[in-house]
Structures are given as C-alpha cells and as structure tokens.
Amino acid sequence: MSFDSHWANNPPQPPASRPRKQRVAALALVLAMSVGGGMVGGLIANSSSSNTSSNNGPLVTAPKIDQSKVGNTSIAKAAAVIAPSVVTISNTTANGGDTGTGIIVSSDGEIITNNHVVEGSTDLKVRLAGATDAVKATILSTDPGNDLALIKLVNASGLTAATFADPASMAVGDTVVAVGYALALDGGPSVTSGIISALNRTLTDSNGALDGLVQTDAAISSGNSGGPLINLSGQVVGVNTAVYNSDGQTAANNIGFAIGVAEVQRVVKILRNDATGNHSNAARTQGYLGIALGDRTDGGSGAVITEVQADSPADKAGLKVNDIVIAINGTSVTGQGALIAVIRDASPGDKVTLTIDRDGTKKTLTATLVARPAQ
C-alpha cells in the first residue's frame, strides 16, 4: 500500500527519546542593557541615598498559606492523581542513549511506553516518581506498527497503576493535560495543558500508519513520548507519541498527537498475551487485502484504489481500480492511512466490510483477509 506523500515525506516527529548526549546542561541568562545604563545606575544610586530609611525596611510578604489549599486548580489536581504512575525511562543503545516517559499499568511494575523510546535497547532503566535511583527494567513485548511497547520492572510491587478513561468519555474541546519528562530536565515531570483538538486522527510513518490518535494543542516536547495525556480526573486518554513541526512548505503550531485510549487498551492486551506466550500466530500476523491506495484529489474523503493484486482477497471480493473506499466495517475512511491501519490491525481470517463509491454508485463488498505475504 502506498502512503500519503506529504506525511510519508514529512512525517510528524516523535517527541520521545531525548539523547542524553544532547541533554541541556545549563541555561544561559542574557541580561539586556540600555545605552544609557550609566545614567540609569546613577539615578538609582541617588534615589537610594536620599531615601535610606524607606528602602531599609523589611520586604512585605504575604501571610503563611494553608498547604491544603495549594495546588487546588483542576489541572493541579489531575496532575497529582497521575504523578505516582509516571516514570522516566533511560534507554542505552549501541548508538548512545535516549530518555522518555512511561505509564505504570500494574502494581507489579508493568509499564506502557512508545516503542521508539525503548527501540534498540541494550540496557533499560526506570526511575519512579520521587525516587533517587533508577531500577532495571526488561522489555516484555513491542508493537512497532502501533509504536507501543510493554516493559516491566524487576522485582517490583505495591506500585500505583494509572486509570484509563472510558473512550466514550472523550470529546473535542475537552481540557487535557500532557505529563512527561520533557527535554530530560532535572526534577519531576513537566505538566502542560490544552484541549482535545480532534479525535480519531490517522498518520502514516515509516512503519505504516498510526490510527485512533488524539490531536491536542497541549505542548508536547522531546522526552514526553510514552507519557500520559490525561483528562481533568487524572485518567489517561492517550499516550503522547508525536508532534508536527513546521517545515519549508507547511506551518504548524501546537499540533501534537497521542495514541488514543481505545487503541492503547487493544494493543496492551495483545502485548500481554505475547509476553506470556498465550497468543496465536494469527493474532500477531497482519491482515492482507491486496490493494494499493492513493488519495482523492476532488476534495472528497476516502481512499482511491490504484491497484488490485490478482487472486487477492480484494480481487475475490470484487474491488476494482478507481473504486473509492469511503467506509470499512461501518467506520468512515477519511484517507488512505485510516484504511491501512484497520487492515494492519486485523488478523488473517477476519472479514471486513467495505463501502465503496464506484462511478457515483455506492456498493458494499465483503473480503476475507489472508496473512500478509513475506516481503
């Protein structure tokens, strides 16, 4: 299947994995001086000498605050709920090292993060919230196509697992908070807020397509990858994974993406089965339809079939070149990436129902997927 040329050539950049060798070591403060700096200094000095008594008095300070009233905003409360479940991940690779963020999903140390945070690992360490030392972790299972990985701490217990939101509770315009170790700065995780800008986005990248994405304008930076995007109850609505940056042809501001909670829950179930060996080969083999795709150029939504492989499931179902796929399994297809992702996530033997537009006439066809042929 072909990929959308814009996203394929200019894919959103994963904000994760901040190389430790590029870590910010210090911040330089630049002090601006006016041309008349000497004169200003002289005026201040004169003022000080003529008002000595008034300037030597104590600074006026606010009365002591009841600590129970500190951090009482909705965003502060949400951040406090998720804080025990957010960890920083240090990954050593043959080419150096990366850092990212993870989310505790079980009391005995299971952690979900992005695949690109742990990819190529030769040594994996995790530091818990408030801890001084990092502890060793192992990779249980990974899914590069969905950019998710399940790792586990060695000999852990009594940890606070995050709560995942009901996917049906999310709406465009809801306030969300991104939490993670942005730029691998010292101290605790960074907290930024914004809204859900869109739901069910699909992006193509070098591994295929990411679907079920939540788009947000909450600031997401390097090191945030694998961390939680939460609602105001502190529940996870997504796993921060990518941010779109401006380039020579496209302007972009505050466009970040998190893998939506429904997709995360689906993939974590597969990853857990993989880790325990309780999966069939079909469950981890990608489905195959046998088509190549292009985008519509007439302003409409959907994906245009540009090629049908002979004797493939698509051929047997009756799909033809120039058919426009507008829905699959009752869900609208907004572009080729959405269709790619659905087929990729399906298993051999699954039946898919495709709604197509053929020369202005809508038709419904059913195809039975097979295993993707070896490359």
pLDDT tens for the 375 residues of the chain, in order: 433 334 444 555 566 444 433 322 233 333 333 234 443 333 333 444 444 555 677 888 888 888 877 888 999 999 999 999 999 999 998 888 888 999 999 999 999 999 999 999 999 999 999 898 999 999 999 998 899 999 999 999 999 999 999 999 999 999 999 999 988 777 788 999 999 999 989 887 666 688 889 999 999 988 899 999 999 999 999 999 988 877 777 777 889 999 999 999 999 999 998 887 654 444 456 789 999 998 888 888 898 999 999 999 999 999 999 999 999 998 888 888 888 888 888 889 999 999 999 999 999 999 999 988 766
Question: Is 359 inside a domain boundary?
Answer: yes
Other beta carbons within 10 Å of 287: 22
Question: Is 145 inside a domain boundary?
Answer: yes
Handedness of CA 340, 346, 349, 355 (dihedral sign): negative
CA distance 96 to 90: 11
Residues 267 and 291 in one domain: no
Residues 141 and 207 in one domain: no
Residues 146 and 178 in one domain: no
Question: Is 307 inside a domain boundary?
Answer: yes
Question: Is 44 inside a domain boundary?
Answer: no
Question: Is 112 inside a domain boundary?
Answer: yes
Question: Is 58 inside a domain boundary?
Answer: no
Residue 287, helix vs strand vs coil: strand
Contact 317, 367 (CB under 8 A): yes
Residues 143 and 188 in one domain: no
Residues 247 and 179 in one domain: yes
Residues 114 and 180 in one domain: no
- The range of the structural domain enclosing residue 345 comes to 285-371
Match 């690779």 to its residue by tokens: 93
User: Among 102, 105, 108, which residue's Cα sits nearest to residue 128?
Assistant: 102
Q: What is the CATH number of the domain that holds 187?
A: 2.40.10.10
Domain ends where: 274, 295, 315? 274
* Domains in the chain, number: 3
Give the contacts of 369 (CB within 8 A, at least 6 positions apart).
287, 288, 289, 313, 343, 346, 347, 348, 349, 350, 351, 352
Contact 91, 80 (CB under 8 A): no
Residues 145 and 189 in one domain: no
Question: Is 67 inside a domain boundary?
Answer: no
Domain ends where: 100, 126, 153? 153
Active site residues: 116, 147, 225
Question: Is 196 inside a domain boundary?
Answer: yes
Residues 175 and 264 in one domain: yes
Residues 300 and 361 in one domain: yes
Q: Which helix (H) or strand (E) holds 316?
A: helix 313-317
Instruction: Classify the phi-psi angles of 7: left when phi > 0, otherwise alpha if psi is within -120 to 50, otherwise beta.
Output: alpha
Q: What is the CATH number of the domain that holds 325?
A: 2.30.42.10
Residues 200 and 102 in one domain: no
Domain ends where: 232, 254, 274? 274
Residues 148 and 171 in one domain: no
Residues 187 and 249 in one domain: yes
Residue 187 φ then ψ, to 5°: 95, -160
